[in-house]
Structures are given as structure tokens and as C-alpha cells.
Structure 1
Amino acid sequence: MHSHMVILLFSLFTASAIIAQPAEPPRITALKPVKTDSPRDTMRSFYDAMNDYRRGIETGNESLQSRIDDAVRTLNLEETPALLREERGREAAIFLKETIDRVIVLNYELIPAEGTAEAPLLRWRLRDTEIVIARIDQGERAGEFLFSADTVRRAESFYNKVKGLPYVDGSGMGSGFREPFLEKHLPEWSKARFAFLARWQWIGLGIALLLGLMIRTIVRFSLDISLKVIKKTPLARHESIVRAFRGPSGFLAAVGFWFLSLKILQFDGNTLGFFIAALKIAFSLSMVWLAYRLTEALTGYLMGFAEKTESSLDDMLVPLLQRTLKILVVILGVLMTIQNLGINVFSLLAGLGIGGLAVALAAKDAVANFFGSLMILFDRPFQVGDWIIVGVAEGTVEEIGFRSTRLRTFYNSVISIPNSELMNAKVDNMGRRQYRRLRTTLRLTYDTPPAKLKAFVDGIKEIILKHPQTRKDYFHVVFNDYGPSSLDVMLYMFFEVPDWTEELLAREQVLTEILTLAESIGVSFAFPTQTLHIESMPTAGSSRQ
């Protein structure tokens, strides 16, 4: 008896433990694929997704509302422009659901699930309608069954034919679609079509354009007021950022308003595609414009920091960085614009493989110049402001770019030298000299006494030693030669100055002091002269003899 009680208690304990175990959590189905293996699977996937969408509209559940994207997956949108696929796909799904629920109650058992070897399943049509589900034979979705492209294109016309009918009892009761407010309340004369739009759409388009331009003006005016306020505050140093936003932000606001207007104006078809493409291009260009302006503001800050440092490397890097950022902004902007138009950028780039090889061969010089600019920046054989001599070219370095380096010559022209040539050329950097030489000959007249000659030489040495910008440890002032018409004094000295302008000023000071010295001592400078001596003149008589 005791053993039976133990077994009973053990069984109860085991059962309670099993019951107490938590239930297995439901499996995540968010990534469950949309089944389109047969007409039955496609119709069930479409119908279930649209019923969830309707419940999401009624309850405000965004997760259920997103199920319309699963319904769109059952549509063949290959003939729909890539730019319009999302918008047209959703519209077609809503119109098809509204149409089906007004004409029939679906019985999935009557929809074929598979074909036979003798009669393969290629297409299926909903009874008493032109709604067709067909097999896709090529492309990424080959082998799937989707609502045909013709069905998608005519979905709205199907709905217009049956929209006066009530929902069939037992159906899914539509997709929660409601007629647009304007369609119900506009007068009939405004619904008449002129060209490719209704009259009320033309009027609305004009009003939308005017309001968009007004919004752009208001935004720019607001930023102008902000600039005036900022100038009077410590934030004045950030004025360049506000200026960068001034132009693009107004246009972005206008484009945003025009995007919202498309919903109200109810454009469709090619008209909708045109306006969406135009606005997406305008939006992309505005963003590129804004990024371009912000790049200028950023490099302006960096240039301010570079001017405060002693290093000249950052003075060269900042302009190069500015050009690099601008090029990247333009390239990324073009790619973003292409992507926004519904074109797969990666497929496009992959398709340019052979063309890219040709471009690479054609651009080898550009690549060489680019690496040449990097070598100049990191090896630093010269920098902006240096006086250099490269072959027959001579001048001051004005700019170091991606492709070339520009020299401002001493006759004020500009020479552009490709960086690939500079990388391999012999560059004489006159601007890197610590000392700048002066070598000349001072010619005194032959009647100069030796004492005055020695006083003149010693005086020049004193001038060199006292001048603040001369090299004191190495110079020569010597009576060097007897010239054809002068006593030659060689002057060989160096100036310690940063640039040519300072060198010219120092030379002028030294030479002026030498001239003053010569005047005070009483020596004169010689100039080339010749003396002609005639011993005797022939007489008239001697010439006749």
C-alpha cells in the first residue's frame, strides 16, 4: 500500500511539472515567403494579405497595413515603370480586391493547384471576369504564377465598372477603400478632361506651384532674418552654415509640398510617373546642392584652423580635401538620383565592366596625375607659395590640384604642369633656401688711393655685420682684380630672408649703404672708358712727298 502511494504521488508530481512547463513560443513568420506556386496559392496569398490590410485600416494597425506589400508581390509589374511600381502596385491590389468582393465569393477548391503532364497549367481566369493569373516564363520570377500585367493595368477600369455594386455576402468586404473627397464633392464641369488632365487638376496644379514657390520664399526669408540675428550673437562664427542652407532648404520645402500635392491632385498613369520622376530629380539635386554648400562651409572652418598652425601641409591639404569632397558629393548625388528613379545602380555599374576597362585605359594619365598629387603632398618637394624652377618653367606655386600644379610666373601668367611630370622632374625649390646669395663686383676708378680702397672694403664688411638680415659667418669683400677700366672689389654675401620680396628690400638697403659709404670716403665708381693716344699728325707736304 505504501509503495502504491509513492507511485501515485510521483505520477502527480510529474504531471504537474509537465503542465507547468511554458508553452512553446510561436515561430517567427515575418520572413515567410509569399506563396505563388500555383493560381490557388497566388489567390490565397493575395486575398489573405488584403484582408489583413483591411483590418489594419479599420484598427490603425501599421503592421497589418504593411501586408499590402505581400499582396503586391503577387502582381506582375514588369510592364510598369520601375519608378511607379510601388505606387501602381498598391493601387492595383486595392482595386482588384474591391472588384473581386463585389462579383464573387472565392472557393479555393475550384482554383487549380497544379497541372498535368498532358495539360500543363499556364494561366487561369476568374469566372465571368477578365482577371487572369498567368505563369511567368522568364526573369527573376520565372515559374511563379502572378496576376497578369494586363490585369494589373486594367485593375482600375475593372473597379469603375463594378463600384456601384454592393459587396457579395460572405466576401472579404473590400479593402477599406473610400472614394476621394474631391471626387464626391467637385462640380461636374470641373471633372471634364482637358488635354490629359481634368480641369480641376489643372487648377490644382497651378495653385500647388504657386504655393510651393511661396513656401520657398518664406523659408529663404526666415533664414535671412536668422542670419541677421546670428550676426549679433556669439554664433556669428557659424554664419556660413546658415548661408549654406539658405538656397537649398527653400527648394527642399517646396519639393516636399509638391510631393504631398500629388496625393491630393490624384494623378495617375504616365502623368503621375512624370511628376514623381521630376520631383525625385529635383529632390536629389537639392540635396546635392545642400551637401555641396555644406562642404564649402566645412572646408572654410578647416581653412581657418589651418591658418592658425605653423605647418604648411594643412594649407595644401584643405583645398585638396575641398575638391575631393565636392567630387564625391556630385558622384554620390548622381548615383542617388539614378537609384531614386528606380534604376538598380549596382546592376548598372556591373554592366559597365567592359566599358569601365576602356575608361580605365583612357584615364591612366588622370590616375597618374592623382598619385602624383599625393606624392607631392606627402613628400613635399614644394608647397604653396614656394618659388620653384621646373625645366624651363619658373614661378610661384599657386595651387596644387588633382591633375596639375599651377605656377604664377613673374610676368603674371599661369603655367599648369601635370603632377605626373612633376613627380619625376628635377625641381629646384628656390623658396626653400635658408640664405639668398648676392654676388657682384664693385668697380672703382684707377685714381683711388690704396688707403681709401682699404677703407671702402672694411666699411662694406661693417655694413654686412650690422645688417639684421645678413649671414655673419660667411661672406667675402676683397679687392679682387685689376679690370680693363677699374679696380674690382668682389662682394659675395648672403641674406637670411623668407621670400624674394624681403630679399629685394634687404639688397636695396645694403647697396644703398654701400653707395653712401663710397660718397663719404670719396671714392668713385668707374665705368668702361677707352683713351686714344695719337703721337703726331701727318703734314700736307710730307704726304705729297
Structure 2
Amino acid sequence: MRDLLASNDWMDFALAGAIALGVMLVIYLVGGLLLRRLARFAEHTATHWDDALVAVLRGTRFPFVLIVGLMVGVQYLELSPTARTVFGRVAVTVLILQAALWANAALRQWLHGYDERQRAQPGGGVSSALIGFLGRVLLWSMFLLLILDNLGVNITALVAGLGVGGIAIALAVQNILGDLFASLSISIDKPFVIGDFIAVDDYLGSVQQIGIKTTRLASLSGEQIVVGNADLLKSRIRNYKRMLERRVVFKLGVVFDTEPAKVERAAHLLRDIVGGRQNVRLDRAHFSAIGESALEFEIVYYVLSPDFNAYMDIQQAINLAILESFRAEGIAFAFPTRTVQVQGWPPAPASRTAGTPAASAFNPA
């Protein structure tokens, strides 16, 4: 301090202070004007980058402006090497903190936009809080290491120790971390969202909640099924909610003594019955095979709705129409039967008469 006072007179301090105040005033005036104009411009655009820039500029704090002003002002002062080193470290620390605040504001603005984009989708933004937490932990950890390195702390050993400790912790809680990152993957990739009806292995149900560790399904029978997120992503998932149309294949058979003309007539009836339905697209209907106990027909059609109840209503109407039409045409449905023909059966042996040696071989009298 004495060296600072001895090397500079009051005119030097006044000039340095005036320059620092001038720089701070210019930053506030120009920055405020730029911020106001950019904010008005951002209100009339559909893009998000300008909103993020406004949020970042609003994150500017007074210590940053003060340090910038002082950095310019001290150039007109005679400072000792020690004083310059101390001031430089303090200035860099403030700049790093301001950069961290800008990055945090940008992250917060991105999360706000992410929530808005996903809110229109059921279950959208489920893990936005988790994304924000992980992002802030990573962000402030990185800037903290930069500050410690600027202050002269040897961060190599610290980073190595944190790495070893992190590996130990990760091994201890690997299942929890697996479920946590699986939850993050579900939130970003969205193989399903809340309200979807999914099948996981042998389990079926509607998605009720997607948590950090587990996902909860409401089964058809009423109970709740809880599945770990990591196990869920390792399984084969069928999402019925995203079905655009349902493909239906069913077969029926008629008896063998049906005349060929009626067999051909049955195929035409099936095409007319299925193809004439609303919300149905007929693929094919054919006399497909001569089975063991029936002349078989195969019908393939699409229900133009993913709703299961709609499919059952259509299938019921088709079944009733087929039953009515086949009875009107005198076409009988087949049922599994087997005809056994017995040929060349050997005659029964003649019965032995009384008095033969075989019959009188034993005489108790």
C-alpha cells in the first residue's frame, strides 16, 4: 500500500478514478440502451436466441462493471508486481464469476424454452428440473475449478482425487445412477409419455408417472406396476398409443361338403362385408387352405383407429354380418371333427363248447 501511495500522487489517483467511472458509465449507458432495444426486438420474433441473449445481458452484475472500469483505470497507476498480481487474480476471479452467471442465465432460459416446447406434449418436460440440476452442478463445478486454478491452487491433485472418489461413489450407487440417466434418456428421447398405453415384456398398462428412478404403469386389472427406468429401457417396449391403424387377421372355416360355387360365393361375401365397413380398409379375403377339418378362409383388414374398443365394435359387427350372410346362403361353419374308418378288422374267435378237453381239464368233482 505504501509503495502504491509513494509511486502515485493524487492526480494519478484522480485520473484513474475518473477513467474507471467513465468506463463504468459508458458500460451502463450503452449496455442499457442495447438491452432495451434488443428486448423490444425479441418480443416480436419467434426465435429463441434473442431471448437467450437478453437473459444473458440481464445477468450482468455490478462487480463485473466495477472490475472492468478498474482494469482500465489502474493502467494509469504505477503498481508493484505484487499488487498487479493480486489485482489480476481478483479481476480474473470476478470475470469468471460473471461468466458463470451468464452461463447460468443461458441455461435457465434454455430450460424455460424447453418447458414451453414440451408442455404441449403429454408428459413433456418431466425431467427438466433434473436437467437443470445436473447442468448447474456441472457448470459451477467447472467454474469453481477455474477460480481455484486462478488463485494458485494446484487443481491437478484435486481433480484426480475427485475422479477417484467419483468412481467409488459411482460403483456404490451404479443402479441409482443407471435409473437416473435412464430417466434423462426417456425425457429426451420420449419412447413414451404420460398417458401412453405400453407393453413391457409381459406387462401392459398406461403410463401414470415417469420418475427419476422408476416409471409407474396402471395395468388393465387395476393394480400399479412399478418398473425401474434402466430395466425399462433394456426391455422391448410396444407403444400402442402411437399406433395409427390396427392390422387384424382372422380365420374361419366351412364344412368339407360345401359346394365349390358356395366356397367362391363365401369369399365374395367376406370381401363385401369387411370392405363395406366405415373406418376399415380391406387388405384381402381368400379361400386360403384346405385344413384338417375345414375349408379355411383368411381375412386381413385394417381398423383406421388405434382405439381398442373401436376395433372390438367393428369386429363384432363383422362377425354378426358373416353369421347372418352364411346362414342365408346355406353355408355351414365347420368345427374340429375327425372321421375314423375301420377296415379289415379280424373276426372275433369262436367260443369253446363244453366237454372239450380245454373246457373239462379241471373238474373239481
Normalising by the residue count of structure 2, what TM-score does the alignment of the two structures yield?
0.48
Normalising by the residue count of structure 1, what TM-score does the alignment of the two structures yield?
0.34
Which one has a bigger Cα radius of gyration? 1
